[in-house]
Amino acid sequence: MLAPKPAVTVYDCQHSTSLPGTPIRNPSSSSDATAKRTFDETTAVADFFNTCFGRNSVDDHGMTLMSSIHYDVAYSNAFWNGSQMVYGDGDGQIFLDFTRSNDVIGHELTHGVTQYTAGLVYTNEAGALNESISDAFGSMFRQWQAGQTVENADWLIGADIMGPAASAKGYTCLRDLSNPGGAHCMSRQPFDYRNYVPQGDPHLNSGIPNFAFYQAAKSIGGRSWEKAGRVWYAALTSDRATKNMRFKSFARLTRAMAKQLFPDEPAIYAAVNDAWTSVGVR
């Protein structure tokens, strides 16, 4: 019998690169703010996927969610390595502690969900979709925690990890789903398929499906995870999703899922269809 909630464990790398590190007992009450934050936010991500999408952990079978903190020295990244989460403390200038941004935690754990569903490869359009899905669900998680509607949300990724040197240069985020090409984004992205960069980094080309998701959610209105999110999740978990999917195939799936999930609400399909069309994916 599956546990109703996945176990959440936190380890301390103590600035080494040896994983997983030393286990932290009772991270929920740890005096280490990074450990406590990691435990609390990871638990919240699990609750988000369970409450909104009926998913039990990233694998849907109650997989323990393991995280390692204080990885390396001034390490400016966070990543899902296929079996656990890893967080760096940042360099204190460009980036702050990566656990400070709940959307970053949601983003990285969503890579685990993608691994156990569509299994999108990390190259070309499939790689960009992989990154975009993590951005979409990371942003939805942030909105869900704050009880925000699509109108209230800022749609930024990584706003809380911008260090003083990044802020001094005018950067307010890593990426912005509502304005992927904005100068305030540390990673400016194309947001129309005409500007897709062949062999480009997945973080770059993800701006195109990111903007499609934002426009669909904004057009539908309300809470992003209730309708637009359900459409994207159904497409990701569909048995028709393939690991080498291109934008067009994923868009076609979301259109189909909009009709299937909301047959009495044609405006949902129209919003999804128009969003993809607007970014040049027909």
State the Cα–Cα distance between residues 47 and 145, nearest whole angstrom: 10
Q: Which one, of 4, 131, 22, lies nearest residue 67 by Cα?
A: 22
Catalytically annotated residue among 15, 184, 203, 226: 203
Known catalytic residue at 131: no
Catalytically annotated residue among 108, 111, 125, 131: 108
Contact predicate 102/38, CB 8 Å: no
Known catalytic residue at 184: no
Enumerate the active-site residues. 108, 203
